[in-house]
A and B are shown apart, each in its own frame.
Chain A
Amino acid sequence: MSLIQIEHLKYRYPGTDRLALDDITLSIEKGEFIGIVGRNGAGKSTLGQAVNGLVPRFHNGAYGGKVTVSGVIAENTPVEEMCGHVGLIFQNPFNQLSGAAETVFNEVAYGLQNLGFPAQEIRSRVEEVLKQLDIWEYRERNPFELSGGQMQRVAIASILCMRPEVIILDEPTSQLDPQGTEEVFRVVEDLTDTGITIIMIEQKLEKLAKYCDRIILMEGGKVRCFDTPEKVFSREDLDECGVEPPAFTRICREYALTLQDGTYPVKLEDAERLFREKGVSPEKDAPAKIVSSGNEEVFRTSELDFSYIRNVQIFKGLNILLDERPTAVIGQNGAGKTTLVRLLKGLLKPVSGRIYFRKEDISGKTVAMLADKVGYVFQNPDDQIFKYKVLDEVMFGPLNIGMTEKTAREESLNAISLMGLSGLENVNPYDLELYQRKMTAIASVVAMDTDVIILDEPTIAQDYPGKRLIGNMIRELSRKGKLIIAILHDMDFVEENFERVIVMAHGRILMDGSADEVFAEDQVLAEARLQKPYITALREILGK
């Protein structure tokens, strides 16, 4: 008998009329690594939570069919019993901390304490797993003061030490920076050798394809296909399911290079081998570049000094000129990216030096005075949303800066449709999912029709269709002569959508140029600890 058996599973969340899971039947063997892919809202997380019984025991709602994990029926087993069999890790590292412990060691021990294991056993298990995940040195630290990647490893440790048979990873890296993502994927890679059964929901398909034995493709609460990564990513209906195949698959498709069974490869090694065998070498691609209206000066800083705490200098003598080209600011956390854009927005004041906006000195201006000129979309939409309807939320800014009711409504409706939220104008934003709330927050700033729009990590938690919408928005607004500045961690997105890229590290600008120029500089990328876009990396390897 299979380890996990799902038969005719149906599920509907309370207060909704759509089936989140619609007649799913499948089985997973012990030791398999299973990926779940699909657009946001396809039912991936719901399926994951049906395996450990949170669906329906925690969420309630309407349920049909049967899920068993090593013979235990999920629906009838309390989650606190089930957690010995199935562990769950999800997106937000911060919300996974229990809040009950003031040290990492105690946080990880918390589950075992609840399960009533002997103290000696708990101590040795926690030590083992902390060392395994390379966080032993943080054992005395407060878990809430760690970085996202470290927090997420603490969350994984907390689950692993309970030694479940199955572990469900629900987009564990979607809210992390590149370094945190690397840390977590390293842990996942180590886990594949331990023989534990893994179910991983993920949007970073290059990574997923590398580890997976089989992949479940979901759309509209149904399983479209459950097969090997090669078969799944060679399907013709991927676009329709809101999934973009891994970079390696895309490039092989472009050159019609297939494996023996007629599928396209999903891994770097396979793609590389095929290209060598066929003797093809890919051209350096020239993506359709955005045509912006001009190179007129928008922002200029001169000899900018800034520090949060005295004697801990962030910027010293920073000089930078921004024109109307869409600009991406990249670099690791702590490089000074957010500090830079906050200075431009007037949220922070320089210690010395000047900032000019359209040749006017704005060093002394308040945020409110700049509100109608510079828009800023914060990373977390939940730090700003407070109205009960998407439209009202989007209209809040425009009305504040003195637009008439009529103009504000028009601008807002345009922004809403630009961000793909048409039809949701009268919905409560908090009834939407996080990725839709992010779109709402972006729309609420776009509607203010400012000259400049600053975006802090707009692609976090977005799937492929979402990223495409944001890309369109950037192009559309650039065409109107607006300056778009974005802080980004997603290098593939940067390459596709930005004309100018600024690389930052330790409060300095390491490089400033076009995407092609920047991603060709291995040394700069290494110093900023950044990775190349997958496609660029592949073309380079194959071009050699």
Chain B
Amino acid sequence: MGNLFKTKLNAATIVLIPACIGINYLGKLFASLLKLPLWLDCIGTCIGACLGGPVIGGVCGAINNIIYGLTTGDNITLIYALTSFGIGIAVGVTARMGFMETLPKSLICALAAGLAAVIISTPLNVMFWGGTTGNVWGDAAFAVTQANGLPVLLGSFIDEILVDVPDKIITIIIAFFILKGLPEKIKALYDVNAEVERLD
């Protein structure tokens, strides 16, 4: 279990964090530029988690939201730092368990990320927004559940699943392809068990 969370806090992993946050920003930017019906704003967090481990992944996610809050003045995003943190941890742990090795296996990783997002976001949605998420399709579903007298928590849970799970699946697939193409020297940089071998 200890190995799952093993983290090297050296210069290489520290500079990974701002790079991953930049990737998050650009993912979101390109998704809106191409008018894709997805957010794709945590690709960097997932890559950070796969390379640096769950701790770095979690930190990437949390800092991403803190910066987003500081740069848009939106302190409600700050609270969702918890969600991003959870996504980073979930992806990091499942990746270390070997669920990023093949594309079919990576679906487990995507489900873990989606589940983490849903479990953490739902209570926050209920607390701050009365259950809505701000996404048209999700909120329409929420309205239907409320009209039919279902509990707020359940309605919000359904809303959140509709919004987050598909997005996380696509995100993980993209991250999977990117990681597959990563050059050896970069992979070696983030190998937690690397040691210098003697030649003489």
Instruction: Check B197 against A63 for contact (C-beta < 8 Å).
Output: yes
**CB of A515 to closest CB in B, whole Å:** 39
**What string of 1s and 0s marks CB contacts (under 8 Å) between A398-432 and chain B?**
00000000000000000000000000000010110
Q: How far is the CB of A512 from chain B (nearest CB, A)?
A: 39
The answer to whether A62 touches B196 (Cβ under 8 A) is yes
Number of B interface residues at 8 Å Cβ cutoff, please give it. Answer: 21
Contact of B196 among A15, A63, A386 (CB under 8 A): A63
Contact B182 A61 (CB under 8 A): no
A388-B180 in contact given A15-B188, A99-B18, A431-B185 (Cβ < 8 Å)? yes
Q: Are B181 and A10 closer than 8 Å at their CB atoms?
A: no
Residue B183 at the A interface, CB < 8 A?
yes
Supposing A14-B188, A15-B188 touch, asked if A428 and B183 sit within 8 A by C-beta, the answer is yes
CB-defined interface of B179-199 with A at 8 Å, one 1/0 digit per residue? 011111111110100111111
Residues on the A chain within 8 Å of B197, using CB: 61-63
Interface residues of B in 157-200 (CB under 8 A from A): 180-189, 191, 194-200
Beta-carbon contact of B185 and A15 below 8 Å: yes
Which residues of chain B (96-139) have a CB below 8 Å from chain A? none
Q: Is A12's beta carbon under 8 Å from chain B? A: yes
The answer on a CB contact under 8 Å between B199 and A14 is: no
| A8 CA / B198 CA spacing, docked (Å) | 13
Residues of chain B within 8 A (CB-CB) of A15 are 184-185, 187-188
A186 to B100 alpha-carbon distance, docked (Å): 51
Q: Which residue of chain B has the shortest Cβ distance to A12 in the bound complex?
A: B199
Q: How far is the CA of A112 from the CA of B15 in the complex (A)?
A: 19
Minimal Cβ-Cβ distance residue in A for B181 = A388
By a CB distance below 8 angstroms, the chain A residues around B200 are 8, 10, 64-65
Residue of A nearest to B178 (CB): A386
A430 touches B198 (CB 8 A): no
Measured in the bound complex, the distance between the Cα atoms of B15 and A11 in whole Å is 26
A5-19, CB under 8 A of B: which get 1 and which 0? 000101111111000
| Residue contact B181 to A56, C-beta cutoff 8 Å | no
Alpha-carbon distance A281/B135, docked complex (angstroms): 80
* Complex partner residue of A60 from B183, B195, B199, CB under 8 angstroms: B195
Closest-CB distance, B19 to chain A (whole angstroms): 10
B181 touches A430 (CB 8 A): yes
Q: Which of B181, B182, B184 is within 8 Å of A14, CB to CB?
A: B184
A100 to chain B, nearest CB (A): 10
Q: Which residues of B contact A61 (CB under 8 A)?
A: 188, 196-197
For the complex, what is the distance from the CA of A14 to the CA of B189, rounded to whole Å? Answer: 9
Q: What A residues does B183 contact at CB under 8 A? A: 428, 430-431
Candidates A57, A60, A386, A388; contact of B188 at CB < 8 Å: A60
CB contacts (< 8 Å) of B189 on chain A: these are 59
| CB-nearest residue of chain A to B10 | A58
Whose C-beta in chain B lies nearest to the C-beta of A65? B200
A62 to B181, CA, bound (A): 24
A63 to chain B: which residues have CB within 8 Å?
196-199
The residues of A that contact B187 with a CB separation of less than 8 Å are 15
A57 to B189, CA, bound (A): 11
For B188, the chain A residues whose CB sits under 8 A away are: 13-15, 59-61
Which residues from chain A contact B180 at a C-beta distance below 8 Å?
388
CA distance A79 to B188 in the complex (A): 18
Could you tell me if B182 and A430 are in contact, using CB atoms closer than 8 angstroms? yes
**Residues of chain A lying within 8 A (CB to CB) of residue B184:** 14-16, 431
Known: A8-B200, A60-B196. 9 other contacts (CB 8 A): A14-B185, A15-B187, A59-B189, A64-B199, A64-B200, A65-B200, A430-B181, A430-B183, A430-B186
In the complex, 18 of the A-B residue pairs with CB atoms within 8 angstroms, ordered by the A residue number, are A11-B199, A13-B188, A14-B185, A16-B184, A56-B196, A58-B12, A61-B196, A61-B197, A62-B196, A63-B198, A63-B199, A64-B198, A64-B200, A65-B199, A99-B15, A386-B181, A388-B181, A431-B183
Which B residues lie at the A interface, using CB under 8 A?
12, 15, 18, 180-189, 191, 194-200
